[in-house]
Amino acid sequence: MVLFWSAMTMATARGFSFVSFLVIRFIFGLGEAGANPTSTRAVQHWYPKSERGVVSGLMHSFVNFSTSLVPPVVVVIMQAWGWRSVFYVFGMVGVLWAITYWLVYRDRPEQHSGVNEAELAHIRERSADGTVNVVKEEAKTQVPWGIILRSPNTWFLSAAWACYVYNAYFFFFWLPSYLVEHHHVSMQKMGFLAALPLFAGGLGGVAGGALTDFFYKRTGNLRNARRYVCIMSMLGSAAFLAPSAVLQNPVAVSWCMAGTVFFLATVMGPTWAVAMDIGKDYSGSVSGVMNMVGNSAGAVSPIVFGYLAERGMWIAPFAIAIGVLLAGVFIWIFLVNPERSVVERAQPAL
């Protein structure tokens, strides 16, 4: 997958019209789609249930860490070699990563020569719910899509994730433009101001995963350990987002947005852990549905922001985003149940 989307990243530099860019990026997305479901299944293979929150949070937080480096790095590359060179450089980084991953990674810890018996025993330890995390050889079974798609819990979790992604996409795609066009900061200053919230999001991802695992280990209550962190996450994010919309000092705005993204990112670890909790042996498929719904909401986010921004309504997108966050709080309080399997009639779980 990474080789494919690295090739499409470099192909973006050859785009010559709106349609060509649209086609290239669409194909790019098709290749990228399997990344999160596949990595979710890898976490389930390599870590016990009591550690999946922090590992998921750490893994997804690196999206924020790496994205926080993009604005200043892109500015430097563009000024040195032009905008097309950005795509060539980033594409080659992906190729190097893919080669390294192929040499080092194995699907299961049992297949990796660097994993000793003590580490394997820890990975397969008895969970707090009394089940044993024994991973059998993959059976050639059909994914029970009917069961997964008929489960309300699948869609509740997907809707909750959509509330996160809708807000996250603003910071991924519109934050630099917002700082330059609305707050009139220079390109160089924008690079650093845009990086601050994204870096804070990386810290938040780790914090959220650590908190959900800490609560689970202390209480043994999986439902509350996942839900409470997500509720706190979205409430905290909304509280910081409100002043971000009305403050006029771009530095103050950037710091408020850092608080927004920090709290927003704390939802990542517990949410992806819930996909494993309820998806069991089919966590890759369940997280795939969740990610599809989330990215669909994310695709709407920049369109809404762009439409309103073009008409000079800079505060309205923030009001909508706050409403989406509060909807996410409602979903986590009343609808998502991390202890309700969505594949209870399918094969036994991890």
pLDDT of residue 60: 73
What's the maximum distance between 2 C-alpha atoms anywhere in the chain?
62
Distance CA 241, CA 315 (A): 11
Instruction: Please report whether residue 268 resides in a domain.
Output: yes
Instruction: Please report whether residue 12 resides in a domain.
Output: no
Task: Look at the chain and count its residues.
Answer: 350
pLDDT of residue 320: 94
Instruction: Please report whether residue 339 resides in a domain.
Output: no
Q: How confident is the model at residue 125 (pLDDT cuts 50, 70, 90)?
A: low
User: φ and ψ at 132, to 5 degrees?
Assistant: -105, 130
pTM for the predicted model, two decimal places = 0.76
Counted domains in the chain: 1
Q: CATH no. for residue 264?
A: 1.20.1250.20
Share in percent of the chain as helix, strand, coil (round to 5): 80, 0, 20
The closest of 123, 101, 94, 85 to 38, measured between CA atoms, is 101
- The better pLDDT of the pair 175, 3 is held by 3
DSSP for 258-314, written as a single string: HHHHHHHHTTHHHHHHHHHHHHGGGHHHHHHHHHHHHHHHHHHHHHHHHHHHHTT--
Note the pLDDT tens digit of each residue in 318-350.
999 999 999 999 999 999 999 998 887 544 444
Distance CA 201, CA 168 (A): 10
Q: How confident is the model at residue 188 (pLDDT cuts 50, 70, 90)?
A: low
The closest of 53, 38, 35 to 233, measured between CA atoms, is 53
Instruction: Please report whether residue 21 resides in a domain.
Output: no
Using DSSP, state whether 126 is helix, strand or coil: strand
Instruction: Look at 31-40, 48-57, 73-82, 136-145 and tell me which has the smallest mean pLDDT.
Output: 136-145
| Cα torsion through 257, 260, 261, 267, rounded to 10 | -170
Query: Could you tell me the two tokens for 19?
Result: 């349609």
Residues sharing a CB contact under 8 Å with residue 216, sequence separation 6 or more, in sequence order: 49, 50, 53, 128, 222, 225, 226
Instruction: Please report whether residue 246 resides in a domain.
Output: yes
Query: Could you tell me the two tokens for 236?
Result: 């905290």
pLDDT of residue 345: 56
Residue 262 has pLDDT above 80, yes or no: yes
Residues sharing a CB contact under 8 Å with residue 65, sequence separation 6 or more, in sequence order: 198, 199, 202
Domain holding 300, by residue range, is 33-127+144-334
Instruction: Please report whether residue 6 resides in a domain.
Output: no
Instruction: Please report whether residue 139 resides in a domain.
Output: no
Instruction: Look at 228-237, 242-251, 332-341 and tell me which has the smallest mean pLDDT.
Output: 242-251
Instruction: Please report whether residue 347 resides in a domain.
Output: no
